[in-house]
Amino acid sequence: MKKGKLFISLIWLSLSFIAIVGATFAWLSENRNVQAEGMQVQAETVKNLLISNNQSTGYAVSATSSIASNDAATMSPASSIDTLSSGVLKFYAPNSETKANYINYATGALETGAEFVEVTPTSTVPVSGTTYSVMKHTFWVKVDGQAADTLSNLYVSNIVVTRANTQSNISKALRVAVACPTNNKVYFYSVTGGQTSYLGISGTQDGTPAYTTSSVSASSTFESTLILANTVTTTTPIQIDVYVWYEGQDTNCTSENSLTIENLSVAITFSVTDPVN
């Protein structure tokens, strides 16, 4: 086995947004809608790795998410179910913009009358004027057919967020989750200086969502032990789902912070540890 080789693929996410203030109701801290303009996820690879947004065709050193759009889309805060060890993510949001009840952030206690609804991540081109909660970008990664090696241990080695306005707090509510559904793996990242943990949602006996009182830690480090796929080959592309949303449980998600206009650029780096002959 050859050691010391590192192969990287980059996913670039550019978000240019202005937050808009709509109906005010409590969503842990407060609910905010964010106007995301020209959302784009671009994937890039270097030596021996190829990436595409289509499982069958289009493999190259770079690819752009099929849901990339120059249109503006409104994103409403959501929160994720506790699925750190599952490849299937579920997200919830309040069921009405007129609800005045909320979950207590500090204790996780369910306030009387608080209701939630499951929201489905959006994997189609966003339409201006439509409100979304979670954007889901899917890519497939495989080894270049010219490579002699099968690559091992695909993982996220870094996520870098560049903000035009470093004084803005609303972007701290940004969350990125990277999942490999085939292998039932998913990792959460609080990438913009927001809280590194939050209270997760869990299902009750009757199947309705409720909050746990324990914290669900978002990944704060990028380690080769957090493996998405054990091997990457030339014949079987690995599906990678990238989820982007604004975490409603982050205390930076407030009306005051949402008034700031800024651009966001998110770069996700995928690496493998060693090639296997």
Would you give the DSSP letter of residue 229?
E
pLDDT at 21: 31
Residue 32 falls inside a structural domain? yes
149 token code pair? 């090696």
Q: Model-level pTM?
A: 0.77
Residue 246's nearest CA partner among 87, 166, 135 is 135
Residue 1 lies in a domain: no
**Cα–Cα distance for residue pair 182/44, rounded to 1 Å:** 22
pLDDT by residue for the chain (277 residues), tens only, comes to 444 444 444 555 544 433 333 322 233 444 556 655 556 666 656 567 788 888 999 887 777 777 766 666 677 778 776 554 555 677 877 655 444 444 443 444 544 444 566 778 888 877 777 778 888 888 899 888 765 578 888 888 777 766 655 666 777 777 888 888 888 888 777 776 665 555 555 554 444 555 555 555 555 567 777 888 999 998 899 999 888 887 776 767 766 666 555 566 667 777 787 765 5
Separation between Cα atoms, residue 131 and residue 34, nearest integer Å: 9
Edge-first strand listing for the sheet containing 49-52 = 49-52, 134-143, 238-246, 174-180, 185-190
| Residue numbers of the domain that contains 217 | 7-276
Domain count, the chain: 1
3-state helix, strand, coil in the chain (%, to 5): 5, 50, 45
Strand order in the sheet with 116-119: 79-80, 91-94, 116-119
Q: Rounded to whole angstroms, how far apart are CA atoms 227 and 123?
A: 24
Residue 2 lies in a domain: no
In 10 A of CB 160, how many CB atoms? Answer: 12
Q: What is the spatial distance between Cα 151 and Cα 272, in angstroms, rounded to a whole number?
A: 7
Residue in 173, 165, 215 with CA at minimum distance from that of residue 192: 173
What is the chain's Cα-based Rg?
A: 19
Residue 272, class by beta-carbon neighbours within 10 Å (0-12 exposed, 13-18 middle, 19+ buried)?
Answer: buried
So what's the pLDDT on residue 238?
A: 92
What tokens appear for 264 in the block? 């966001």
Report residue 178 as tokens.
Answer: 């990277």
What pLDDT is stored for residue 103 in this prediction? 44
Which residues lie closer than 8 Å to 38 by C-beta, 6 or more apart? Answer: 14, 15, 16, 69, 70, 71, 72
Instruction: Give, as one character, the DSSP assignment of residue 29.
Output: T
